[in-house]
Amino acid sequence: MTEQQYNSNFLNILKERGFMYQMSDEKALDKELSSGIVPAYIGFDCTARSLHVGSLVQIMMLRWLQKCGHKPIILLGGGTSKVGDPSGKDKSREMLTMEDLENNKAGIRKVFAKYIKFGDGETDAVMVDNDDWLNKLQYLDFLRDYGPHFSVNRMMNFESVKIRLEREQPLTFLEFNYMILQAYDFLELGRRYGCKLQMGGSDQWGNMINGLELNRRVDSRSAHVITSPLLTTADGKKMGKSEGGAVWLNDDMLSDHDFWQYWRNVQDADVGKFLRLFTELPLDEIAKLESLEGSEINEAKKILAGEVTKLARSEDSAKKAQDTAQKTFEQNGMGDALTKVEVSRAELTSGILAFKLFASVGLVSSSSEARRLISGGGAKVNNEKVTNDKQEITLNDLDKDGVIKLSAGKKKHIIVVPV
């Protein structure tokens, strides 16, 4: 490997693998990390039942952190979700019920359990909800105790604030307070767990620095922050959209097959970057993979898909997904991991109009869309193009395995199982 820039193994890994965007006081942090266990945290929203690949960079950072002998703290924004995240300006989000919130927390915990180890040990991860302390805050006490440490003049200079003001877009007081609450989280975690490091996306830099300073001013605790680059795909789009939906990490939100396919279909230019960030393959191996040319890079994509799926789902899921992909795409057949939909035998006996079946099975969202698909030549039954939307699908269409394969375009397939 190249020269090791830091004493801390953790920092070296972050640097080499592309997790590092900026950090506060490099030397001090390096020293801190190389001389003992450092508890570090990253905050996550819990507005959905699962996190999606957009959070994967953060998750991997915590995983490496633990691997390097430190303690990950996962902070869920249960308290802040209660207020609703204001940065999605248009519609203020619906309030989550307590029940939703608990469900979401459980779902998110499930994801993390795949990546890091929880428990009571020194480097075991813990998961906390900022509702535990934010909810109890007394406005006046809070103002008196922490208000003096925040300078509005400075906050006005923060990128996030400045942009809004310059564009004359509204910035609510609520929103303005968010960064203060976030800073307070850092302080609280410092008190509870001796947390000294906050990590997060580079858009959080300003907020994170606030927390760092609050720690220093109020508790004289030395604290640090590291940000990761904001991830975009090679064509500059946000990561994590596929076939119209978000790429969820939980398997009850997105099938193993679709998850695997997302990684299989990344752009050539992203392969190396993603391998470094989202897998734990050695760097020299990654270098080899990303240097593959032309269609050979597809092999690298398969490895990427396999590795990521293994981590997020399971070894078995990865295998099945790859197997299915091979059968489906390379042999024009079908694999186990394709979504199966049951259709009553009785209906098939009398015949179902093609466009209706495509819609009811969920390949398209309406029968109008199904008709469009068919007239555009994108609908197939057992690899045969459907030419007429009134074509009937019947038991006669069962293949030798007694099922029917429906395809919408080249990539979306569903297996119809008569019951």
73 interacts with RNA by CB under 7 A:
no
Task: Give the x-and-dash track for 243-282 against RNA (CB under 7 A).
Answer: xx----------------x--xxxxx--------------
Of the pair 148, 245, the CB lying nearest RNA is at 245
Q: Is 87 in the site for RNA (CB under 7 A)?
A: no
Contact with RNA (CB under 7 A) among 227, 278, 378, 414: 378
How near is the Cβ of 227 to RNA at its closest, in Å? 27
- Secondary structure letter of residue 99 according to DSSP: H
Task: List, as one string, the DSSP characters of 78-93.
Answer: HHHHHH--TTS-SSPP
- Binding status of residue 392 toward RNA by CB under 7 A: no
Q: Does 368 bind RNA (CB under 7 A)?
A: yes
- Between 23 and 321, whose beta carbon lies closer to RNA? 321
Here's the x/- map for RNA, 192-231, by CB under 7 A: it reads as ----------------------------------------
Phi/psi of residue 14, each to 5°?
A: -55, -45
Residue 168 found at the interface with RNA (CB under 7 A): yes
Shortest distance (Å) from residue 389 CB to RNA: 8
Phi, psi at 147, each rounded to 5°: -50, -45
> Do residues 42 and 75 make contact, with C-beta atoms less than 8 angstroms apart?
yes
For residues 213, 216, 221, 227, the Cα torsion angle rounded to the nearest 10 degrees is 20
The residue to which tokens 């466009």 are assigned: 355
Smallest distance, Å, CB 279 to RNA?
17
What are all long-range contacts of 85-92, with beta carbons under 8 Å and residues at least 24 apart? Answer: 85/45, 85/47, 86/172, 86/174, 86/175, 86/178, 87/175, 87/178, 89/169, 89/170
When asked if residue 173 is in the footprint of RNA (CB under 7 A), the reply is no
Hey, how many other C-beta atoms are within 10 angstroms of the C-beta on 68?
A: 19
Instruction: Supply angle C-alpha 393, 397, 398, rounded to 5.
Output: 125
Of residues 308-347, which lie at the interface with RNA (CB under 7 A)?
325-326, 328-330
Q: Give whole-number Cα distances, 119 to 49, 332, 408, 416, in Å.
A: 22, 46, 46, 44
235 binds RNA (CB under 7 A): yes
Under the criterion CB under 7 A, does residue 238 sit at the interface with RNA?
Answer: no
241 lies in the site for RNA, by CB under 7 A? yes
Contact 242, 260 (CB under 8 A): no
- 49 is a contact residue toward RNA (CB under 7 A): no
Burial class of residue 358, CB neighbours in 10 A (0-12, 13-18, 19+): buried
Using rule CB under 7 A, residue 410 touches RNA: yes
Do 47 and 23 touch, CB atoms closer than 8 A? no
Stretch that binds RNA, among 76-84, 93-101, 213-221, 409-417 (CB under 7 A): 409-417
Binding site for RNA (CB under 7 A): 90, 168, 170, 235, 241, 243-244, 261, 264-268, 294-295, 297-298, 301, 325-326, 328-330, 355-356, 359, 365-369, 371-373, 376-378, 408-412
